[in-house]
């Protein structure tokens, strides 16, 4: 925290900003940015599914909402290949697949307030305590979700692990989200969601909106 405050103080000095600008690579030059308008060749509300797996949910949702753009993000190369085959077979102009780690996408590459919905269903739970550091939901990732969510946008999440559900709520609230009422239809429409419904396993789902009182940390 002290370091963040110090950085804020330094950044307020014009000569410091000027020195920094002489070396900082501009986000707009394409090094660190992803341009949904260019990818989809149109401007439209953007929904992202992080860890899309087989793509059951996002293919159906993209077909249901042709007026929105959908990006399926998947880290695993073989899973992303199968996902791309399924999404490609759906022949939907509003659906694209990115084989990448969602963390740099959310933390760095997407513009501030550019995503109308983030869908994150059954992120890997990493159940052993010594592996918790590999979990997707960290304060840093939650801050990235907050930065990228558009006004009126939502983060929709589901997990089958009660303790991870508590942790997800905690980091999202700390990042400036509040829990909102309403269903999370994606939670039982993904492959994992369907499997859990079929075996009668309890799952935890929630949707989160930006808390109006929270500060927007977007840089751009
Ligand atoms: C448990 S599976 C759930 C898949 C799908 N959401 C479902 O409910 O059927 C988690 C998925 O997230 C992907 N994943 C894990 N870490 C990721 C990351 N950092 N970025 C993108 N995808 C990730 C995994 O490869 C895996 O396909």
- Find out whether the beta carbon of 55 lies less than 6 Å from any atom of ligand 1: no
Q: H or E segment at 131?
A: none
Q: Which of 34, 47, 48, 53 to probe ligand 1 with, by most ligand atoms within 8 A of CB?
A: 53
CB 72 within 8 A of CB 52: yes
Domains of the chain, start order: 27-210 (3.40.50.150)
**Tens-place pLDDT, residues 68-124:** 999 999 999 999 999 999 999 999 999 999 999 999 999 999 999 999 999 999 999
Residue 140 three-state SS: helix
Whole-angstrom distance, CA of residue 171 vs CA of residue 141:
9
- What pLDDT does 215 receive? 55
Pick the atom of ligand 1 nearest to 49's CA.
6
CA angle 169, 171, 177 (to 5 degrees): 70
144, two tokens:
């990235």
Query: Under 8 Å CB-to-CB from 56, ≥6 apart: which residues?
Result: 189, 190, 191, 194
Residue 201's Cβ-side half-sphere holds a number of Cα atoms within 13 Å equal to 18
Nearest in space to 122 (alpha carbons), one of 53, 172, 185, 73: 53
Query: Under 8 Å CB-to-CB from 122, ≥6 apart: which residues?
Result: 51, 53, 158, 159, 160, 190, 192, 193, 196, 203
pTM of the model: 0.88
CB 71 within 8 A of CB 96: yes
- For ligand 1, the distance from its centroid to the CA atom of residue 160, given in whole angstroms, is 14
Whole-angstrom distance, CA of residue 38 vs CA of residue 149:
19
- Find out whether the beta carbon of 35 lies less than 6 Å from any atom of ligand 1: no
- For ligand 1, the distance from its centroid to the CA atom of residue 40, given in whole angstroms, is 23
Q: What is the CA 128 to chain-centroid distance, rounded?
A: 24
- Find out whether the beta carbon of 211 lies less than 6 Å from any atom of ligand 1: no
- Find out whether the beta carbon of 102 lies less than 6 Å from any atom of ligand 1: yes
Nearest in space to 95 (alpha carbons), one of 117, 62, 54: 62
8, two tokens:
């804020």
**Tens-place pLDDT, residues 69-84:** 999 999 999 999 999 9
Pick the atom of ligand 1 nearest to 120's CA.
6
**Tens-place pLDDT, residues 129-167:** 888 889 999 999 999 999 999 999 999 999 999 999 999
């Amino acid at each position: 925290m002290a370091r963040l405050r110090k950085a804020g103080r330094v950044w307020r000095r014009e000569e410091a900003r000027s020195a920094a600008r002489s070396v900082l690579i501009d986000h707009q030059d394409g090094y660190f940015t992803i341009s949904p308008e260019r990818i989809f060749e149109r401007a439209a509300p953007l929904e992202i599914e992080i860890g899309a797996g087989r793509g059951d949910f996002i293919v159906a949702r993209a077909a249901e909402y042709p007026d929105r753009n959908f990006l399926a993000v998947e880290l695993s190369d073989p899973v992303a290949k199968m996902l791309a085959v399924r999404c490609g077979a759906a022949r939907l102009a509003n659906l694209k697949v990115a084989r990448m780690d969602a963390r740099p996408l959310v933390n760095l590459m997407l513009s501030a307030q550019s995503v109308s919905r983030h869908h994150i269903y059954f992120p890997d739970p990493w159940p052993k305590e010594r592996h918790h550091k590999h979990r997707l939901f960290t304060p840093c990732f939650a801050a990235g979700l907050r930065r990228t969510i558009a006004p009126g946008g939502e983060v929709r999440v589901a997990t089958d692990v009660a303790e991870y559900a508590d942790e997800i709520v905690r980091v999202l609230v700390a990042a400036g989200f509040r829990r909102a009422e309403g269903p999370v239809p994606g939670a039982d429409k993904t492959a994992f969601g369907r499997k859990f419904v079929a075996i009668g396993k309890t799952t935890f789902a929630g949707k989160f909106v930006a808390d109006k009182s929270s500060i927007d940390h977007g840089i751009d």
